[in-house]
Structure 1
Amino acid sequence: MAIDTKSMPIYLDKPSLSPNAKLVLEKRYLRRDETGEIIETPDEMFWRVARAVASVEHSYDLQADTEAITSAFYEIMAGLLFLPNSSALLNAGTGRGQMAGSMVLPVEDSLDSVFDAVKLAVMVHRGGSGIGFDFSSIRPSGDRAGSRPDAAIGPVALIDVFSRATQNIRQGGIRRGCNAVSLSIDHPDIVEFIRAKADQSSLSNFYTCVAITDDFMQRAKQGMDYPLINPRTRGVSRWLNAKEVFDQIVDQAWRNGEPGLNFPDRINRDNPTPQLGALHHVSGCGEQPLLPNEFAHLGSINLSRIVKSEGDQNRIDFDLLARIASTAVRFLDNLIDLTDYPTVESMLATKRTRKIGLGVMGLADMLFQLKIPYDSEQAIKVAGQVMSFIQRQALEASIELGCKRGPYPVCAGNRMLLRNASRTTIAPTGTISLIAGCTPSIEPVFATVFVRNAFKGEHQMLDINPHFEKAARQAGVFTSDLIERLVRCNHLHQQPDVPEELKRLFVTAHQVSPEWHIKMQAAFQEFTDAAVSKTVNLPHNADREELGSIFTQAYDIGLKGITAYRDQSRSSQPFCTGDNGICLVRKYMNRVEKDGNIITPSQC
């Protein structure tokens, strides 16, 4: 579906930003002058980005109505219907170049390659993007290096080099660089890699992930040994028991949430360009498998804004969703051309496939409005319907762009003139969901009331889900006492004064059983070209056996990757409940009582 420039504007009224959203924008996104003073409003930011992204139109059509297209781009952002990845909000229209959320950097088994990659990693982080690495080609520690038989330091020590080099580089000047690194399960240093973050202060700006093959999983299920392969010689280094190694992965993930798993054989069954090679790398949060040097340009539709009322019923507005999706595909395709790439190699790699990643956020909020519990078959069905619709709209929009602008360069042999080799991705949306005022990505709500530790603990932000607040008010149970109890313990289902229908609807992340987390991820994966970034949240008392079962189920159901996190398994975490939120609750409730109004969450 093309953008209908004759019927602009086509979207909803512009909602107000929450205080939390304004704080995030002020801290990270709004432009500042040389003295550090903010010189831009949120509305001006949206116009800045819209104009910059629409400016690409003249590259393809000198008669393009850029004013109408700018308005369309502005409306989906300012209407909080769609937001691009953080780099685009930061950099578009500022003279700084990177627009992508992340990229993957190849690291070959040579000193020149390693230090070239370190230099490029610093450049990429300074531009605002995260990085995915795969160190599987690096020779193991103690291996031959030059004329010395045992001088190689191995991948884990090299990862530490990258970590130290990028640790204090702030992405786009606003946050520390984020990296993800994977190592093949058959690398001789795999056990050391699994334990690399046993000390939680180690590799603090790296997320670790083990690349698990089909062969390994079959051997692990049967308790068989498997070979470790030296990437330098391609010979067998030694043999390990697959079940014992799998159990070590489970143990370490139980201790602090890492490593996660990705399944490269499953990933490559969906490889849109196998003629260019296998996909060994995934982007910074695991949502986008990429070829070496490719950048990932991502954006997400806010599902909480596509529900409309009809009498006393709510339903999904698929007409609105279609318009948002088609506009967003055009937006993301333009970002590819707007990006100022750090190297010629990264520009060529990205433009030869023109991969984009249109995803979603606010799923839990959408389900709340539809009165559908997250852990239900109806929720899984609706999730599949929504994502299949988005995938179809994104495909149609990409074909239309391909007909007008030309297909991606290596599209030869594809019966459809696709503009983009892949089009849909489910990213984490941690920060942009805060701006949009919705739940992140496809996750269940962490809690109906909780405290968000933000900006390295500088700020604590109260988060009360607006749909819960509305429902609790209608039920007559929204009181200071209830909110204080919830911020202390997060156990809505244990509150005697809350109606059962509210307890069932507002199920939180730790109440959702692992099976439902995996079912939801699978529902989206079925209709997603790339991969799905999602976390299976576990209560603190979950055991290792339960976690091992989650990993096995994820593989068996056909996921491309899996991350699980046991509550309080790290010394610090971004979301929490407890007494430290009581002061924020009281400020909020005092303001509510004073004004006598229902106000949006976090306005304290």
Structure 2
Amino acid sequence: GKSCASGGVIPWVKLLNDTAIAVNQGGRRAGAVTVSLDSWHLDVPEFLEIQTENGDQRRKAYDIFPQLVVTDEFMRRVRDNRDWTLFDPYEVRIKFGIELAELWGSQFEEQYGYLETNLDNDANPQLDINNPKLTLYKQVSARELFKNIMRSQVETGMPYLAFKDTINKANPNQHEGYIPGVNLCCESWSNVTPGKFAHTCNLDSLNLANIESEELPYICQLAVRLLDNAIEITTPPFVESANHNDRYRTIGVGAMGLADWLAKRRFSYTNLSEINALFEDIGYYCTHASMELAKERGSYPAFAGSEWSKGYLIGAKPVEWFCENATKSERWLQLSQDIQLYGIRNSHITAIAPNTSSSLVQGCTASVLPVYSRFFYDKWAKGTVPIAPPFISDRFWYYTENKTLSQDIVIKAISTIQRWIDTGISMELIFNLNAGVYFPNEPERSLKAKDIFETLMLAWESGCKAIYYIRTVQKDGYKDTTSECASCAN
């Protein structure tokens, strides 16, 4: 064997898995850990099996939350049905001095392509010790690998998918590093540096069910100020978190109750112009509030050299984009000028969390997703809770049920919202595997792998930054409500 060499990443993931079990707040709440792996890593095939029922149970980790970090180059090869090469990062580092994990966009594509020309194979053997070749690699079909990703997602709900290039293109702090992956709920992230800066989530959410449009400016300003104050009065549990708070002052104002907001106004998730206008306002008011805080308290320390300092706005997009796409372009132009003059208090400002539990306390639907069902029972460890939206009696038919809704509609709505959210959105997708659900004219037809594949590709192509859980309604585990019962419920 090789001295000091391990058997890949899986044994180390298992250590994290057992740590999460051990740190359980005295038995009251289990620890939660997400582990990310880049899609070019040699251990990806086994990583995709880490929570499936088949295989060696000694190499399983059922208590962590795996995520796969994918690049645009990988997704293009999936789309075009081309080959993909898996590398050992250590061999790449030792022989070529390249840290693939730290690269994204054109830099990644250039170096990745270079490595593929230096494989030790019959067509390109290593003949000269001064011209090293890579021996630890595996070439696979990108599409077949993606099918394995889908298979794991349908079976286990994971891995999460983080679209690395989309995330980093929108990073306002490109001058100080890169974003390697996403957090546990796929909505909050920023630059991290091992041993120095650890991303810290500082989040709150607007309850859209109870907010009127004229209240938005004040509520957004209050939400931003609240989170900035929270950074001041909070003592993080370890120094890297404190360093990150001090350097980047990352916050995430989110939203819950979008399904209620739509139903209240007799809209649906296909009313993209109305959804767009709502989140343009939220994005503007929150960004403006952070600029006003900078006047009062100063910019975040890493502001100089950031995309913000260059006049770029949400998602590191140039002000010209806002002039072309915003409903009120003048205010964005003024905001860009004000930020260059006064700075901005927080490097990231908006992020939409899942809100599964907090929305129950708030009396609204969770996050910005359609309600799973108009009425259902949610089973928890301590009991079963009946769940119904707040306006169900008056707006019954305007609550679209996610369990029967085409997820293409969900993705188009989320990608519309994402334009105005500078960090991420916890986007959970639900696929109903029963016949006739999505195809009313073909009652015997059920969802196929090809349909799920096209939906996931749409998420990437539409500019979504990450995919959270994949949920499935299993065959024979679903019975549609009859029209008679639905009428009675109204």
TM-score (norm 2): 0.74
Alpha-carbon separation, structure 2, partners of 1:161 and 1:330: 39
Preserved CA contact (<8 Å) 1:525 1:531: yes
Preserved CA contact (<8 Å) 2:171 2:190: no
**1:275 has 2:175 as partner:** yes
Percent of aligned pairs sharing the same letter: 29
Match in the other structure for 1:154:
8
Preserved CA contact (<8 Å) 1:354 1:421: yes
Match in the other structure for 1:265:
165
- Aligned match for 2:220, one of 304, 320, 325: 325
Preserved CA contact (<8 Å) 1:255 1:569: no
Shifted more, 460-469 versus 396-405: the winner is 460-469
**Which one-letter code corresponds to 1:464 in the other structure?**
A
Alpha-carbon separation, structure 1, partners of 2:343 and 2:407: 40
Structure 1 residue 564: deviation in Å?
A: 5.2
Preserved CA contact (<8 Å) 1:361 1:429: yes
**1:441 has 2:336 as partner:** no
Structure 1 residue 565: deviation in Å?
A: 2.5
SS at match of 2:392: helix
**1:515 has 2:408 as partner:** yes
Structure 1 residue 171: deviation in Å?
A: 5.3
**Which one-letter code corresponds to 1:557 in the other structure?**
S
Instruction: Write the deviation string for residues 428-474 of structure 1: whole angstroms up to 9, x where unpaired.
Output: 111111110111001101111100112x2x310111323122446xx
Alpha-carbon separation, structure 1, partners of 2:395 and 2:458: 35
Preserved CA contact (<8 Å) 1:186 1:229: yes
Match in the other structure for 1:459:
383
Alpha-carbon separation, structure 1, partners of 2:191 and 2:25: 22
SS at match of 1:538: strand
Structure 1 stretches of 5 or more lacking a match? 1-141, 307-316, 473-501, 571-575, 579-588, 590-597, 599-604
Q: CA RMSD in A?
A: 2.6
**1:546 has 2:451 as partner:** yes
Match in the other structure for 2:74:
216
**1:227 has 2:85 as partner:** yes
Alpha-carbon separation, structure 2, partners of 1:362 and 1:577: 25
Match in the other structure for 2:41:
187
Match in the other structure for 2:420:
527
Alpha-carbon separation, structure 2, partners of 1:301 and 1:321: 9
Preserved CA contact (<8 Å) 2:220 2:286: yes
Structure 1 residue 270: deviation in Å?
A: 0.8
Match in the other structure for 2:460:
555
Structure 1 residue 329: deviation in Å?
A: 0.2
Alpha-carbon separation, structure 2, partners of 1:256 and 1:552: 20
Preserved CA contact (<8 Å) 1:540 1:566: no
Runs (4+) of structure 1 exceeding 6 A deviation are none
Shifted more, 190-199 versus 172-181: the winner is 172-181
**Which one-letter code corresponds to 1:303 in the other structure?**
L
SS at match of 1:254: helix
Match in the other structure for 1:175:
29
**1:404 has 2:296 as partner:** yes
- Aligned match for 1:205, one of 39, 50, 63: 63
Q: Which has the higher strand share?
A: 1
**Which one-letter code corresponds to 2:256 in the other structure?**
M
Structure 1 residue 213: deviation in Å?
A: 0.8
> Kindly tell me: are residues 561 and 411 of structure 1, through their superposed partners in 2, closer, same or farther at Cα, counting changes over 3 Å?
same
Match in the other structure for 1:338:
233
**1:298 has 2:195 as partner:** no
**Which one-letter code corresponds to 1:558 in the other structure?**
G
- Aligned match for 1:430, one of 356, 359, 377: 356
Preserved CA contact (<8 Å) 2:299 2:345: yes
Alpha-carbon separation, structure 2, partners of 1:243 and 1:220: 5
Match in the other structure for 2:114:
none
> Kindly tell me: are residues 171 and 394 of structure 1, through their superposed partners in 2, closer, same or farther at Cα, counting changes over 3 Å?
farther
> Kindly tell me: are residues 174 and 394 of structure 1, through their superposed partners in 2, closer, same or farther at Cα, counting changes over 3 Å?
farther
Alpha-carbon separation, structure 1, partners of 2:81 and 2:478: 41
Preserved CA contact (<8 Å) 2:35 2:66: yes
Match in the other structure for 2:438:
none
SS at match of 1:467: coil
SS at match of 1:176: coil
SS at match of 2:384: strand
> Kindly tell me: are residues 330 and 174 of structure 1, through their superposed partners in 2, closer, same or farther at Cα, counting changes over 3 Å?
farther
> Kindly tell me: are residues 373 and 171 of structure 1, through their superposed partners in 2, closer, same or farther at Cα, counting changes over 3 Å?
farther
Alpha-carbon separation, structure 2, partners of 1:566 and 1:422: 29
Alpha-carbon separation, structure 2, partners of 1:467 and 1:205: 37
Instruction: Write the deviation string for residues 186-214 of structure 1: whole angstroms up to 9, x where unpaired.
Output: 00000001111113995333222211111
Structure 1 residue 172: deviation in Å?
A: 9.1
Preserved CA contact (<8 Å) 1:450 1:577: no
**Which one-letter code corresponds to 2:88 in the other structure?**
N
> Kindly tell me: are residues 276 and 172 of structure 1, through their superposed partners in 2, closer, same or farther at Cα, counting changes over 3 Å?
farther
Match in the other structure for 2:323:
none
Alpha-carbon separation, structure 2, partners of 1:172 and 1:334: 30
SS at match of 1:218: helix
Alpha-carbon separation, structure 1, partners of 2:384 and 2:394: 23
Alpha-carbon separation, structure 2, partners of 1:389 and 1:460: 37
SS at match of 1:282: coil
1:119-138 matches, within 5 Å, as: none
> Kindly tell me: are residues 301 and 538 of structure 1, through their superposed partners in 2, closer, same or farther at Cα, counting changes over 3 Å?
same
Alpha-carbon separation, structure 2, partners of 1:405 and 1:169: 37
Match in the other structure for 2:188:
288
Match in the other structure for 1:382:
274
TM-score (norm 1): 0.60
Instruction: Write the deviation string for residues 142-198 of structure 1: whole angstroms up to 9, x where unpaired.
Output: 9x5xx25xx413222211111111114235974212222211000000000111111
Alpha-carbon separation, structure 2, partners of 1:271 and 1:215: 19
Structure 1 residue 373: deviation in Å?
A: 2.1
> Kindly tell me: are residues 170 and 383 of structure 1, through their superposed partners in 2, closer, same or farther at Cα, counting changes over 3 Å?
farther
**1:165 has 2:19 as partner:** yes
Alpha-carbon separation, structure 2, partners of 1:178 and 1:434: 21
> Kindly tell me: are residues 173 and 398 of structure 1, through their superposed partners in 2, closer, same or farther at Cα, counting changes over 3 Å?
farther
**Which one-letter code corresponds to 1:435 in the other structure?**
V
SS at match of 1:336: helix
Alpha-carbon separation, structure 2, partners of 1:351 and 1:165: 28
**Which one-letter code corresponds to 1:207 in the other structure?**
F
Alpha-carbon separation, structure 1, partners of 2:426 and 2:470: 13
Alpha-carbon separation, structure 1, partners of 2:352 and 2:471: 22
Preserved CA contact (<8 Å) 1:429 1:440: yes
Alpha-carbon separation, structure 2, partners of 1:281 and 1:557: 19
Preserved CA contact (<8 Å) 1:538 1:564: no
Preserved CA contact (<8 Å) 1:283 1:290: no
> Kindly tell me: are residues 189 and 569 of structure 1, through their superposed partners in 2, closer, same or farther at Cα, counting changes over 3 Å?
farther
Match in the other structure for 2:102:
none
> Kindly tell me: are residues 556 and 322 of structure 1, through their superposed partners in 2, closer, same or farther at Cα, counting changes over 3 Å?
same
Match in the other structure for 1:573:
none
